Amino acid sequence: MNLADLRKVLDAEKIDKAGYRINEPPGESAWCLKKQGKIWLVYWFERGERFHLNRFSSEEIACEYFLHRLRWG
């Protein structure tokens, strides 16, 4: 799964866009997926802080993990 595939799944499942950010400035109380250099970051952003930060070297694994977090919290 890449970013394009991820966006299609998120749209198809009607996951609330207010609850996540993909390669955008973090929103308050949202899951974030961001590429930083060669690393993909997935984290929860709230009150100006990152929580549950995970780093991935693969876009595919980062997208799958991000989708899992959005589906199940």
Task: With cut-offs at 50, 70 and 90, classify the pLDDT of residue 67.
Answer: very high
Pairwise CA distance, residues 67 & 64, whole Å = 5
Number of domains in the chain: 1
Q: Do the strands 39-46 and 49-56 form a parallel or antiparallel pair, or are they unpaired?
A: antiparallel
User: Residues 6 or more apart from 34 whose CB is under 8 A from it?
Assistant: 21, 22, 23, 40, 41
pLDDT 10s digits, 11-60:
999 999 999 999 999 878 999 999 999 999 999 999 999 999 999 999 99
Q: What is the DSSP letter of 65?
A: H
Pairwise CA distance, residues 73 & 66, whole Å = 10
- Domain encompassing residue 61: 3-72
